[in-house]
Amino acid sequence: MEVTVVDHPLVAHKLTLLRDQRTDTPTFRRVTEQLVTLLGYEATRAVRVKPHRVTTPVTEATGVHLESPPPLVVPILRAGLGMLDGFLRLVPTSEVGFVGMMRNEETLQPVTYAERLPNDLSGRQCYVLDPMLATGGSLAGCINFLVERGADHITCICLLAAPEGVQRVQELLGDLDVPCNLVVAAVDERLNEVGYIVPGLGDAGDRLYGMAE
């Protein structure tokens, strides 16, 4: 899995706003959308296009159109939903699927508890949205799920990643023969003893939806 950390002043600025515990929920949502659009610009660098001829007010020109079928964007429930609008603002013709992943507390393996996807993803480029790559189990589980459906190119967009999570995903996907990329705003220092990214930004789902206790 190729990892890209987007090094841009606006990305760093918006990530700083998200890290700040004083940032309220409405602002957190809005900045998350903006940051995802910036990350999505880099993440879609390899999106598939085909030549397209158009007539300008002056003459004819050859540009490009997105190939068909369009990209499929897949937010991992629930926090990934907070990233969806930011991506769709960039690629409004994308189709949208949903995957709900959770960890089985006995086996510690990711379990799919909900999904709304085409049965056949053959030939599809997929973009997975998940704010935090912490332990890596859910993201790796979602990637494998998409590959089993036939997806042949996957790009994951995360706001933050922990080194432990990146390493685990790479280990879990070591035998994957499908190109897989990860685009993040930053790779932070580490995971703490309860699985939070340090310095991180807290629980992204709670900060997006205002349900922290």
Q: Which residue among the candidates 25, 27, 85, 203 is catalytic per the annotation?
A: 203
Is 40 marked as a binding-site residue?
Answer: no
188 assigned to active site = no
Q: Looking at the chain, which runs of residues are DSSP E strands?
A: 2-5, 49-55, 60-66, 72-77, 95-96, 98-103, 110-116, 125-129, 132-133, 153-161, 180-187, 190-191, 197-198
Q: Which residue among the candidates 56, 107, 175, 177 is catalytic per the annotation?
A: 107
Q: Which residue among the candidates 48, 85, 152, 206 is catalytic per the annotation?
A: 206
Is 136 marked as a binding-site residue?
Answer: yes
- 10 Å CB burial of residue 54 (0-12, 13-18, 19+) is exposed
Is 131 marked as a binding-site residue?
Answer: yes
Closest CA to 149 of 115, 172, 198, 110: 115
Is 130 marked as a binding-site residue?
Answer: yes
Is 101 marked as a binding-site residue?
Answer: no
Is 68 marked as a binding-site residue?
Answer: no
Distance CA 199, CA 41 (A): 25
Is 48 marked as a binding-site residue?
Answer: no
Is 78 marked as a binding-site residue?
Answer: yes
3-state per-residue secondary structure call for 2-41: EEEECCCHHHHHHHHHHHCCCCCHHHHHHHHHHHHHHHHH
Is 43 marked as a binding-site residue?
Answer: no
107 assigned to active site = yes
Is 138 marked as a binding-site residue?
Answer: yes
Taking the CA atoms of the chain, what radius of gyration do you get in angstroms?
18
203 assigned to active site = yes
Q: Which residue among the candidates 30, 85, 103, 112 is catalytic per the annotation?
A: 103
Is 203 marked as a binding-site residue?
Answer: yes
Distances in whole angstroms, Cα of residue 76 to Cα of each of 17, 156, 199: 23, 11, 23
Residue type, 205: G
Q: Which residues are annotated as a binding site for 5-phospho-alpha-D-ribose 1-diphosphate?
A: 78, 103, 130-138, 203
Q: Which residues are annotated as a binding site?
A: 78, 103, 130-138, 197, 202-204
Q: Which residues are annotated as a binding site for uracil?
A: 197, 202-204
> What residues are annotated to the active site?
103, 107, 203, 206
